[in-house]
Amino acid sequence: MVAYACDPEGGGEHWLGWGWAKEASLCHDVTLLTTSKAMPVLEDYTSKYGIELHCLDVPVWIRWLSRFPPGAGGWLRKYWWQRMALKLALKLHAEQPFDLVHQTTFHTFRIPFSCSRLGIPSVWGPIAGGESTPKGFDQYLGPARTAERFRAFVNRINSKMPWVTASLRRASAILVSNQTTQNFLADEFHKKCVVMSPNALREEDLNIPYSTPKNGGVFQLLFAGNCAPTRVMPLIFEALAIGLPFDWHLKVVGNGAALNFWKSYAARLNLTDKITFTGAVPRESLKQFYRETSAFVFPGLRDSGGSALLEAMTLGLPILTLKWGGPGEMVDMQSAVLIDVKSPTQVINDTHAGLIRLGNSPHEAQKLGQAARNRTYQEYRWDMKWQVVNRIYSDLIV
């Protein structure tokens, strides 16, 4: 198992990288290739689960070079690490042959699956990267709009690069984070794709108490997560500025590159008194915010999934999100208010109507939240995801 990002006590992709290794170790003998970033913690956890651990780090001179150009140089470090991982995997394979190789992280098709060259059955993913912001929404991205268009251009080029297409061809099975990414890949690869969200519940989430949405009084809205430009909160602000037939308040919890733009946008709409930007908060404070929430908003235009969205689903909160990319596939019409994405005006108007619907119909809002909670336990438990992957393993190893 190849997992560049892997940390049992980390978050996001790092925690998911560990989750796949742990699940596999319950049924199989696992050799894990990763970096030394979380090595002390990994040594404890891999020992507990009987996983053979190998940590690789790129040379100092590669780390130095990877600082240039800013924002892009990190790819050099990751590509070089992949070369090192293949070299070590070939050596280990010669000593004691593997039955299968699975690269779980990076969660993108842009970094090739070098270890698919071992000549054995191979599984790649979940990978993402096919998501992009639709045309016409640039003004809601703020200063990031140029970089976002450039990213979409580079993505299209990357998908045609020989090292990427070769990895896609060599992979025996490809797990894709969402249907959007599968559609982005060339048609020839679709037959070996399996759509699987990268997100999964932590063990402690399995016993998390149901959080009854707050009804009565002020309608409390919440956004939590990284304040990324493509999580276009200005669309939510525009919808709120139209006016709701009840008192409301919005908390925006988190830090990120878009935070200052969001603050200025809210001020321009004279919403400063109605929106609180908390910045990053401790875990316990976030739990309290969830308990005080009437509805959770997550307007992601380029997300492969959404850990904060999954957390809100697990709590049973009513959710409003966009029918676009990963978040739009994590829920359905029975478990959230899903907003079609056709034009900014349409999104703003439909979001306004959706917020009124949630605020005026507490019973329906609670029903949506309960359906979202049920959905997490049906589709986002590790054991459910592992059953699918293990069947893929079994089909490949004959």
Same domain, yes or no: 209 and 186 = no
Same domain, yes or no: 153 and 18 = yes
- Of residues 157, 106, 152, the one with CA closest to residue 130: 152
% of the chain beyond a pLDDT of 70: 98
Same domain, yes or no: 294 and 165 = no
Residues 6+ apart with CB under 8 A from 242: 348, 352
Q: Is the pLDDT of residue 210 over 80?
A: no
pLDDT digits (tens, 9 = 90+) for 367-395: 999 999 999 988 899 999 999 999 999 99
Q: How many whole angstroms separate alpha carbon 345 and alpha carbon 99?
A: 53
Same domain, yes or no: 256 and 325 = yes
Residue 24: the pLDDT is: 97
pLDDT digits (tens, 9 = 90+) for 71-87: 556 788 899 999 999 99
pLDDT (average), residues 1-10: 95
pLDDT (average), residues 36-41: 94
Q: How many whole angstroms separate alpha carbon 143 and alpha carbon 150?
A: 13
Residue 18: the pLDDT is: 96
Same domain, yes or no: 371 and 389 = no
pLDDT (average), residues 270-295: 91
Least confident of 28-37, 77-86, 129-138, 280-289: 280-289
Q: What tokens appear for 72 in the block?
A: 């892009």
Same domain, yes or no: 98 and 189 = yes
Same domain, yes or no: 272 and 361 = yes
When the pLDDT of each residue in the chain is averaged and rounded to a whole number, the result is 93
Same domain, yes or no: 246 and 177 = no
Q: What is the domain-level CATH number for residue 225?
A: 3.40.50.2000
Same domain, yes or no: 133 and 273 = no
pLDDT digits (tens, 9 = 90+) for 99-114: 999 999 988 998 999 9
Q: Is the pLDDT of residue 207 over 80?
A: no
Tokens 């049906």 correspond to what residue? Answer: 378
Range of the domain at 238: 203-379
Same domain, yes or no: 192 and 249 = no
- Of residues 101, 108, 110, 143, the one with CA closest to residue 127: 108
Residue 73: the pLDDT is: 60
% of the chain beyond a pLDDT of 90: 77
Count how many domains the chain has: 2
Same domain, yes or no: 62 and 91 = yes
Same domain, yes or no: 175 and 211 = no
Q: How many whole angstroms separate alpha carbon 202 and alpha carbon 14?
A: 13
